[in-house]
Chain A
Amino acid sequence: MLITKKSTIRMFSSFIICFFLASCASQNKRRNIPNKQHDGLRFESLNRYDSNRLSSVNKYVSDIAKCHQNQYTDAYKSLKQKLEKEKSNPLYWNQIGTCYLLNQKYTQAKFYFTLALGAIDTSIKKNKRSKYKAIIMNNLGLNYLRLKKYNLAQDHFQRATELNPRFLTPKYNKTQIYLKFGLFGKAETLLSFLYKRNKNDVDFTYSLGHLYLMKNQYSKAKHYFALLPKMYLTRDDIATNYAMTLFMLGDYKGSQSILANAEMKSSQLKKAQLNLIDRIKLATNN
Chain B
Amino acid sequence: MKSLINFLFIITISINGLSAKTPIKKVSRWVKILNLIEVEKKTINLVKNKSDRLLYRLFELETEKIKIFKRMDNNLFMSKSLKNGKAIDKRKSFQKTLSYYKKAKTFALAIIKKFPKTRYKADIYYSLALNSRDYAYDKKELYYLKKALLNSRAGSELRYLSMTSLADYYYNNKKYKRAIKFYKKVIINKTDEWYTKNLFNYGWCLLKTHKFKKAIATLEEAYKLSSTGSYIDFNEQIMTSLITFYVQGQEFKRGKDFILENTKTHFNDLFKYTKKVAHKGYFSQSLELIQLTESFIDTKKDQENLADLRIFQYDFYKQFQKTDEMFNIANQISKLALTKTQIDDSTYKFSNEVGVLQQLIKKDFSKHDRSYDVNKLNRIISYFGLLIDIDIRNTAKYHYHSAETLYSVHEFFRALKRYKSGLEYHLTEKEPKIDFDIKRKSIDAIFSCIEFAKLSKPEQFSQLEYAYLKHIKFWPKDKKSGEIFPKLYSLYFNKKLIHKMHKTLTQYILLFPLHLDTQQSLFRVQLDHLITVKNTDLLSSRVNLLYTGFLSFTVKEVKRSEKILANLLFKQYDKLAKAGNHQEAIKGYKNIYNIEKYPSSVRADAAFNMGILFTDLFETSSVLKWFNLSLALFNQQEKLDRRQIIETMSLRSSLLQELKNAADLQKLVLRNYCNKTNNAKTKALNYSSYKNAITFDLANNDASRAVKTFVQYKSCVTGDFNPLEITFINHFFENNLDGELIDFINSQNLNKKHKDLIGQRIESLFWDNYNKNQYKERNYLAFIKKLKCESCIKLTSTITAFKQFEKEINKTIQRKLRIKGTFNPDKFNKKLEKRLSNLGPLFSKGDEILTKGHPQVSVLVLEKMALLTEVISNEISSFSPKTKNISLKNQVEKQMKILGKTIEKERSKIVSRANTLINKFEVLSHHTNNTHLGKRVLDISNIRMPASQMAATIDLK
Contacts and interface: CB of A to CB of B under 8 A. Distances in A.
Interface of A: 26-27, 29, 31, 41-48, 61, 64, 76, 79-80, 83, 87, 91, 94-96, 98, 101-102, 105-108, 110-112, 115, 131-132, 134-135, 138-139, 141-142, 144-154, 160, 167, 169-170, 172-173, 176-177, 179-186, 203, 207, 210, 213-216, 237, 240-241, 244, 247-248, 266, 268-269, 271-272, 275-276, 279
Given A46-B956, A107-B701, A184 B915 contact: yes
A210 B618 CA distance: 48
A16 to B, nearest CB: 16
19 contacts: A42-B956, A44-B954, A47-B955, A107-B731, A112-B657, A131-B957, A135-B957, A142-B951, A142-B952, A145-B951, A147-B735, A147-B736, A151-B764, A169-B954, A181-B926, A216-B937, A240-B944, A244-B937, A272-B940
Contact of A138 (B922, B947, B954): B954
B13 interface: no
B563 interface: no
Contacts of A27: 946, 948-949
Contact of B934 (A47, A148, A182): A182
A172 B952 contact: yes
Contacts of A44: 952, 954-957
Given A108-B657, A266-B945, A169 B952 contact: yes
Nearest to A46: B955
A240 B933 contact: no
A184 B938 CA distance: 15
Contacts of A177: 924, 947, 951
B313 to A, nearest CB: 102
B945 A237 contact: yes
A42 B953 CA distance: 11
Contacts of A173: 951-952
Contacts of B695: 111
A75 B823 CA distance: 77
Given A142-B951, A181-B924, A184-B915, A31 B940 contact: no
Contact of A107 (B700, B932, B952, B953): B700
A194 to B, nearest CB: 12
Nearest to B934: A214
Given A44-B954, A172-B951, A181-B926, 6 more contacts: A94-B954, A107-B698, A138-B954, A142-B952, A148-B736, A248-B936
Contact of A182 (B733, B932, B943, B955): B932
B954 to A, nearest CB: 5
A179 B915 contact: no
Interface in B395-424: none
A247 to B, nearest CB: 8
Given A213-B934, A244-B937, A138 B655 contact: no
B78 interface: no
A160 B953 CA distance: 12
Contact of B947 (A43, A179, A213): A179
Contacts of A79: 657
B924, B932, B942 — which one has the most chain A CB atoms within 10 A of its CB?
Answer: B924
A142 B945 CA distance: 15
Contact of B945 (A31, A80, A98, A107): A31
A76 B243 CA distance: 129
A275 to B, nearest CB: 4
B734 interface: yes
A272 B955 contact: no
Contact of B933 (A186, A214, A241): A214
A218 to B, nearest CB: 9
B918 A276 contact: no
B654, B701, B928 — which one has the most chain A CB atoms within 10 A of its CB?
Answer: B701
Contacts of B764: 151
A139 B954 CA distance: 6
Contacts of A207: 950
B592 interface: no
A111 B950 CA distance: 23
Nearest to A266: B945
Contacts of A213: 934, 937, 943
Contact of A181 (B699, B925, B946): B925
A269 B945 contact: yes
Contacts of A142: 948, 951-953
Given A27-B949, A142-B953, A272-B943, A76 B932 contact: no
Contacts of A45: 952-956
A80 B615 CA distance: 12
Contacts of A148: 736, 948
Contacts of B735: 106-107, 147
B659 interface: yes
A276 B937 CA distance: 10
A134 B953 CA distance: 11
Interface in B889-936: 915, 918-919, 922-926, 928, 931-934, 936
Nearest to B760: A151
B925 A61 contact: no
B656 interface: yes
A179 B936 CA distance: 15
Nearest to B580: A81
Ordered nearest first, which 8 A-B pairs have the shortest CB separation?
Answer: A214-B934, A111-B699, A272-B941, A47-B952, A176-B947, A173-B951, A275-B941, A107-B701
Given A83-B656, A147-B735, A183-B919, A138 B953 contact: yes
Contact of B657 (A31, A47, A76, A98): A76
Interface of B: 618, 654-657, 659, 695, 698-701, 731, 733-736, 764, 915, 918-919, 922-926, 928, 931-934, 936-938, 940-957
Nearest to A67: B955
B765 to A, nearest CB: 11
A41 B952 contact: yes
B659, B919, B948 — which one has the most chain A CB atoms within 10 A of its CB?
Answer: B948
A170, A180, A213, A271 — which one has the most chain B CB atoms within 10 A of its CB?
Answer: A180
Contacts of B938: 214
A61 B956 contact: yes
Given A83-B655, A182-B915, A29 B953 contact: no
A101 B698 CA distance: 15
Contact of B659 (A111, A152, A153, A275): A111
Contacts of A108: 657, 659, 699-701
A46 B213 CA distance: 157
A141 B924 CA distance: 15
A261 to B, nearest CB: 16
Contacts of B933: 182, 184, 214-216
A186 B915 CA distance: 10
B659 A182 contact: no
Contacts of B618: 80
Given A61-B955, A272-B943, A110 B699 contact: yes
Given A80-B656, A144-B734, A269-B943, A98 B922 contact: no
B922, B940, B953 — which one has the most chain A CB atoms within 10 A of its CB?
Answer: B953
B953 A101 contact: yes
Contacts of A203: 950
B936 A216 contact: yes
A131 B931 CA distance: 38
A227 to B, nearest CB: 18
A185 B948 CA distance: 20
A140 to B, nearest CB: 10
B734 A182 contact: no
Contacts of A131: 957
B163 to A, nearest CB: 141
A41 B928 CA distance: 31
A30 B618 CA distance: 31
B911 to A, nearest CB: 10
A268 B943 CA distance: 8
B699 A167 contact: no
B934 A31 contact: no
A276 B938 CA distance: 11
B924 A94 contact: no
